[in-house]
A and B are shown apart, each in its own frame.
Chain A
Amino acid sequence: MSEPAITPALVAQHGLTPEEYDRLQAILGRPPSYTELGIFSVMWSEHCSYKNTRPLLRTFPTRGRSVLVGAGEENAGILDIGDGLAIAFKIESHNHPSAVEPFQGAATGVGGIIRDIFTMGARPVCAMDSLRFGPITGSSADEARLANNRRLFAGVVSGVAHYGNCFGIPTLAGEVGFDPSYEGNPLVNVFCLGVLRHEQIARGAAQGLGNPVFYVGPATGRDGLAGAAFASQDLTEASAQHQRGAVQVGDPFMEKLVCEACLELLATGAVAGMQDMGAAGLTCSTCETAARAGTGIEIELSKVPQRAPHMTPYEIMLSESQERMLVIVHQGREEEVKRIFDKWDLPWAEIGVVTGTGRMVVKHQGRVVADIPAKPIATESPVYEREAREPGYLAGVRAFTLAGLPDTTDPTAALLHLLAWPTIASKNWVYRQYDHMVRDGSVVCPGSDAAVIRLKADALPPRPAAGTETGGAPPTVEKFLALTVDCNGTYVYLDPYEGSKIAVTEAARNLACSGATPVGVTDNLNFGNPHHPELFWQLRESVRGLAEACRAFQTPVTGGNCSLYNQSPAGAIDPTPTIAMVGVIARPEHITTQWFKDPGDVILLLGPAVDPADPLGGLGGSAYLQVLHGQKTGRPPRCELDQGRTLHEALRSLIYGGAVKSAHDCSDGGLAVALAECCISHQVARETPRLIGAAIELGADGSGTVAAPNPPRLDALLFGETQHRVLITTTALDAPKVRAQAKILGVTATELGVVGGDQLRLRAQGQEWRWSVVELHDRWWHALARAMA
């Protein structure tokens, strides 16, 4: 079979620069074969090599007492959660595939991240997603565009649902946002968390000379050819058309079998190393496992199960067919492997051997088609310090004042508008399509600030000799984890540094509201083309803010994903560093939800009503400014990390003291939206919300927090998004004690009112507004279903 000649044009087509090509030749000591060129192109894509981001990522805090496997070491980081137990978690993007084929793009994104987790030897127990789309509501003149955004939204949600539901893990939390910047380039970030015992950590290393290399899972086809390279370029109509074949097709049924078989196999001790074939398929898994172990690997491609006839070595090496694993087995224990794979009726093949040469040798029918030193290609990819320049638009953002903006005259309508705004509205249309209860651990389901999962013995992978039985294992201490995923891309666009701090802080605040202490972060950096200095500046500033905030909250970054090149012909997306944060809840009685509980309970605001040092009073970048005034501008609220830390620690102390009946974070839409959500977000069952009203008086407390030098504007008071605020309730009896304690803990607690009735009544500055909780609920709960009908 003749292979194409290596020409500069072919090199360019593979996304390699002339300098990179020179470096490649220097590593090989000769020009590459066609297959080798393909291998280098995917290994040195941004998706696999982080060549544009590595210097920035080094600034993240990645160490900590509880870090068992740190960022970048393996497929996912691992944290100790005590009692011999550990958690593996990671987030990953599937943005470009989802833009081209939303259902399969999202489904295979879920599949990929689940594989990353069980590859570490952990049993996957829950998933989360963070999604962004172009607007789904608006003027009928834009109907074609809106309809396309709705198509992508519906397709992605059903793709996530399909894969997670069938595999059998709860998709327990998530977030969905809508903004014109995501039109044509939706974001699909998916997170998975798994559980294991310390001694069960598996490594993706090709250890042990002479150990056989097994291929497990379905046959390799031409689907997903070079998907990693596709993800590492701008998305255009032409590239989308051309790359339709780069989207893979997922089979969650196969993944479930592969997962169970791999966990069972790991329990036997026969496995020397294991790695999934994700991005860059067989290429990445072979050279990374060899590079990690400092060994070599030799494989024969004719032994690889193939779905299509006449596949070339190039195609076999670069295919991203799903649900495949590479397993390195201790010599002499091959029979155990075969027995388990046969039990699960899984295809397998012995395709190669671990060598001591340090080289990745690929043969096809005995002929060498690639012979590359493994370590350099996996670890010595080029690294770029890109040029950064502050974007021009920021001057206008900083110059924005409220001077020309009339204060609100109709808060009643404004609140109803905000509650129905798709970004703020209830996401039940999404999560009711996700199985969020399978595995019997969902203590707090989607709809509160953070989800809470209970980990019991059967969340662990099987132990040796126990086989698939988990019942025989000694008692395992139950654990409670809280999970959240957050990012307000508008803030990050308006101020990448401050906005990124807010993303981390809001995640930490959500966890605190649920009663949890954060333990770690995984981040998904969704940005535009790094060759564009203004976009690279956004990235650099954002990473600076993330790193600082993660240090402040003592949450090491255990890994994550960089998705650059997120832009459509209309421009780049709002920079969106998605933060998934995991926390531990020490005792089940600390678990706290956001909704009001009982009539007569007292509502307290922890933190300031309005930040007196913010000239925009928290309205910069706010939902209110976008929805009611059609403006996406202004400096976002300030985020003093010390203030956040003090608030979260105080809140947890109050929760531990047992007096807090509900806790809800104030974020998008400000105080008014947060109060409304407390009244309407408790869903007992289908068509059965538990609605409860409240009577609120703002500024009556006399504590001075509300009375800034000048009385704040009403819009800032009701809808401003000042940071570091939480609404809690306590019994009337406990309220004075809680206020006193809060003061000692360094946080102002202002009494706002009382829970009860069937209306939300709000008095401020001598006026009063009333909303029926039924109407509030109707607007908020059904908004997405109405938009999608």
Chain B
Amino acid sequence: MRFAILQFPASNCDQDCLHAVRLLGHQADYVWHKATSLGDADAVVIPGGFSYGDYLRCGAIARFSPVMQAVQRFADEGGLVLGICNGFQILCEAGLLPGALIRNRSLQFRCEQVFLKTAAHDAPFTEAIPPDHVLRIPIAHGEGCYFADEPTLAALETHRQILWQYCDAGGAVTEAANPNGSLRNIAGICNQARNVAGLMPHPDRASETLLGSADGRRIFESMAQCWARRRAA
């Protein structure tokens, strides 16, 4: 499987995503933000960082880059797109995912390990995560508080688009487990078509036991499993 890892000016988790995906034995290549095509990529990862310095608003400038037009077309055709951290912010800004990410309730940047409950196991990003398995994956963001109006949240729930929620070690979705004030403890969601997802935690930093957790691999493995099934079909 071939992953395209987008590179915006000041993407800074591009190398981490490339590393994590290659660890799983997949191919991964960088795609520059000025590119107008994704080549023969089977999936797209929009990595974390501070694209274009995050001036104006996180992800607000990146959405206008040429490569995002290509990502839009790729997503429209059903291709798998995963946005991590700043990548999630870009997908929301680009309208590929609903809602917005605003400043953490603490008004401070937060970098720490968090626990995630997988709220829907039937998405291309979650299908390889065992039921009841609580993921431990780090966050690192200043603007990761997921926000949307009530109808949007209701729609997310109706269509089972909430993929991951912040929880405690036992899997309980609690106030104390929420690191940034996200509504409904939302850590990650997908679109209605379920082929575009974003999350604030970094699976790319949780792909080796040496670094404390390999839980993040499950998310990339889910994408690969889905892609292999689609190709076989």
Residues of A at the B interface (CB closer than 8 Å) are 158, 161, 165-168, 251-254, 256-257, 344-345, 431-443, 445, 454, 456, 458, 468-471, 588, 683-688
Q: Is the CB of A437 within 8 A of B9?
A: no
Min CB gap B29→A, angstroms: 8
Contact in complex: B10, A253 (CB < 8 Å): yes
Q: Report yes or no: B177 in contact with A440, Cβ–Cβ below 8 A.
A: no
Q: What 11 additional pairs, Cβ within 8 angstroms, besides A251-B53, A345-B9, A431-B111?
A: A165-B142, A166-B50, A257-B9, A432-B111, A437-B205, A439-B12, A439-B16, A440-B15, A440-B204, A685-B112, A686-B115
Chain A positions within 8 Å of B114 at CB level: 685-686
Partner of B115, one of A441, A458, A688: A688
CA distance A165 to B140 in the complex (A): 9
B179 to chain A: closest residue by CB: A686
Assess the B168–A440 pair: CB atoms within 8 A.
no
- Cα of A256 to Cα of B8 in the assembled complex, Å: 11
A785 to B151, CA, bound (A): 36
B204 touches A168 (CB 8 A): no
- Say yes or no: B177 contacts A442, CB within 8 Å: no
Bound form: Cα–Cα A254–B10 in Å: 8
Q: Nearest chain-B residue to A468 (Cβ)?
A: B30
Check if B233 is an interface residue, CB within 8 A of chain A.
no
Contact A438 B52 (CB under 8 A): no
Choose one: B13, B29, B113, B169; the contact of A168 (CB below 8 Å). Answer: B13
20 A–B pairs (Cβ distance < 8 Å), ordered by A: A158-B109, A165-B111, A166-B12, A167-B12, A168-B50, A253-B52, A253-B55, A256-B50, A257-B9, A434-B109, A437-B140, A441-B211, A442-B211, A445-B212, A454-B210, A469-B30, A470-B15, A471-B18, A688-B115, A688-B168
Is the CB of B92 closer than 8 A to any CB of chain A?
no
Contacts of A256 in B (CB 8 A): 9-10, 12, 50
B57 in the interface, Cβ–Cβ < 8 Å? no
Give the Cβ gap from B21 to chain A, nearest Cβ, in Å: 11
Which residues from B are CB-within-8-Å of A443? 210-211
Closest 4 CB pairs of A and B: A168-B12, A253-B53, A685-B113, A440-B16
Known contacts: A253-B52, A458-B18. The answer to whether A161 contacts B113 by CB under 8 A is no
Known: A166-B10, A253-B55. A435 touches B20 (CB 8 A): no
Q: What is the 8 Å Cβ interface bit string for chain B, positions 165-199, against chain A (1 contact, 0 not)?
A: 00011000000110100000000000000000000
Tell me whether B113 and A686 are in contact (CB under 8 A): yes
Most buried by A among B7, B52, B111, B212: B111
Whether B152 sits at the interface, judged by CB under 8 Å, is no
Q: Are A458 and B53 in contact (CB under 8 A)?
A: no
Could you say which residues of chain B place their CB within 8 Å of the CB of A158? 108-109
Residues in B12-65 with C-beta less than 8 Å from chain A: 12-13, 15-16, 18-20, 22, 28-30, 48-50, 52-55
Question: What CA separation (Å) do A437 and B203 show in the bound complex?
Answer: 12
- Could you tell me if B113 and A684 are in contact, using CB atoms closer than 8 angstroms? yes
- Interface, chain B (partner A; CB < 8 A): 7, 9-10, 12-13, 15-16, 18-20, 22, 28-30, 48-50, 52-55, 108-115, 136, 138, 140, 142, 168-169, 176-177, 179, 202, 204-205, 207-208, 210-212
- Is A432 within 8 A of B211, CB to CB? no
Pick from B7, B140, B169: contact of A688, CB under 8 Å = B169
Task: Report the nearest B residue to A166, measured CB to CB.
Answer: B50
A434 contacts B111, C-beta separation under 8 Å: yes
Give complex CA distance A435, B200 in Å. Answer: 14
> Within 8 Å CB of B50, what residues of A?
165-166, 168, 252-253, 256
Q: B49: nearest residue on chain A (CB-CB)?
A: A168
Residues of B within 8 A of A253 (CB): 9-10, 50, 52-55
| Contact yes or no, A433 B140, CB < 8 A | no
Task: Looking at the assembled complex, report how far the CB atom of B14 sits from the nearest CB atom of chain A, in whole angstroms.
Answer: 9
Cα–Cα distance between A167 and B10 once the two chains are bound (Å): 7
A438/B9 in contact, CB under 8 A: no
Report the Cα distance A158→B111, complex, angstroms. 13
**B211 partner, pick from A433, A440, A468, beta carbons under 8 A:** A440
Give Cα distance in the complex from A345 to B33, angstroms.
12
Decide yes or no: A686 and B177 within 8 Å by CB, A437-B140, A438-B16, A440-B205 being known contacts: yes
Bound-state Cα–Cα, A744 to B30, Å: 55
Q: How far is the CB of A62 from chain B (nearest CB, A)?
A: 33
C-alpha spacing A437/B12, complex, angstroms = 11
* B15 engages A687 (CB within 8 Å): no
- The answer on a CB contact under 8 Å between B168 and A456 is no
Which A residues touch B204, using CB under 8 A? 440
Q: In the complex the two chains form, what is the Cα distance from A168 to B15 in whole Å?
A: 11
Q: Are A588 and B136 neighbours in the complex by a CB distance under 8 Å? A: no
Contacts of A432 in B (CB 8 A): 108, 110-112
A residues within 8 A CB of B176?
687
Residues on B with beta carbons closer than 8 Å to the beta carbon of A445? 212
Chain A min CB distance to B204 (Å): 7
Question: Is there an interface contact between B19 and A684, defined as CB atoms closer than 8 Å?
Answer: no
Which residues from chain A contact B212 at a C-beta distance below 8 Å?
Answer: 445
User: Which residues of the partner chain B approach A345 to less than 8 Å between Cβ atoms?
Assistant: 9
Closest residue of B by beta carbon distance from A257? B9
- Find A687's partner among B53, B168, B208, B210 (CB 8 Å cutoff): B168
Do residues A433 and B9 form an inter-chain contact, with CB atoms below 8 A?
no
- Complex Cα distance, B13 from A440, in Å, reads 9
Residues of A within 8 Å of B208, CB to CB, are 440
**A182 CB to nearest chain B CB (Å):** 23
Q: What is the minimal beta-carbon distance from B75 to any residue of chain A, in angstroms?
A: 25
Which partner residue on chain A sits nearest B178 by CB separation? Answer: A686
Which of B22, B136, B210 has the most chain A CB atoms closer than 10 A to its own CB? B210
Residues of B within 8 A of A167 (CB): 12
User: Which chain A residues lie closer than 8 Å to B177 at the CB level?
Assistant: 686-687
B-chain residues with CB within 8 Å of residue A468 when the two chains form the complex: 7, 30
- Cβ of B113: which chain A residues have Cβ within 8 Å of it? 683-686, 688
Q: Are B111 and A257 touching (Cβ within 8 A)? A: no
CB within 8 Å for A438 and B13 given contacts A471-B18, A588-B210: yes
